Amino acid sequence: MAGYGSEDFARDANVSRETCERLELYAELLKQWNPRINLVSRDSLRDLWRRHFVDSAQLHEMIPDYDGALVDLGSGAGFPGLVLALMGLANVHLIEANLRKCTFLREVARRTDSMVTVHNIRLGDEADPGQKLPKAEIITARAVSQLVNVLDIAYPLMYDRTCCIFHKGSRVDEELNIAREQWRFELERIASISDPSGTILRLRNIRRLGGVEVED
C-alpha cells in the first residue's frame, strides 16, 4: 500500500466525499499538532491513512447495531473512536487521560462537526468511573494495555449487552491465555486488514471469575 492516501481510503472504506473531506481535515490537524504533543509516531505519520485510518475504520463493519453508548478507551489521537464517529456512528465517548490530547480531540471534533463527547479521565484511578461515564454497549480500545488490564478497566462500564472490540498485535495468544485466568468471555478473532500481525478481538458475555456479575 505504498503511497496509500485519502482517495484510496475513500474507495476501500466506501465513505462519502463529505466524510472523506472531514477525515482529510482531521489528518491535517493531526500533522499540525503532532510535533507539539506527540500524538502518533513519526514513522506511522508517513503512512497515516493505512496505519491509523484504515486500522480504525475496519471496526465499522464489526460493530453490531447498538442503541446505547460507544466508549473508546485511551483514545489518544482519536483512533479508533473519532474515526468511527466521523464515519457516522452515534453517541461516541472518547476517554483520554492526557489533557493536551483531549484538547486536540475537542478541536478536531469542533472543526469537523463531529458529535463526540471527550472525557479527560484516567480510568482505573477512579473509585467508580461508572459514575462519570455512561454504561457502554460498545467498548473499543487500541494500543492501550494488555487484554487482562483493559478488561479490568472496562468492566465497570459494562452491562449484559456490552460488546468489546479490541485491536491486538502479535502477542494476542499470550494475552488471551493470561486473561482467561481471570475472565470468561465469548470470543471472535478477526484478522486485521491493515496489519499482517494484527488481530481484532470481539468479546461478549464477559464475566470476571469469582466476581460480581455486571448489571442487566
Residue 165 has pLDDT above 90, yes or no: yes
**Domains defined along the chain, listed by start:** 6-208 (3.40.50.150)
* Tens-digit pLDDT profile for residues 180-193: 999 999 999 999 99
pLDDT at 127: 45
Q: What distance in Å separates the CA atoms of residue 49 and residue 22, rounded to the nearest whole number? A: 13
Percentages helix, strand, coil for the chain (3-state, rounded to 5) are 40, 20, 35
Q: How would you classify residue 135: left for phi > 0, otherwise alpha for psi between -120 and 50, otherwise beta? A: beta
Give the residue among 36, 65, 29 at the shortest CA–CA distance from 137.
65
- What is the pTM for the complete model shown? 0.91
% of the chain with per-residue pLDDT over 90: 82
Per-residue pLDDT of 30-75, as tens digits, reads 999 999 999 998 888 889 999 999 999 999 999 999 999 999 999 9
Mean pLDDT of 199-215: 84
CA dist 65 and 48 (Å) reads 28
Distance, CA of 92 to CA of 114 (rounded, Å): 10
pLDDT in tens, 117-135: 999 988 766 545 554 788 9
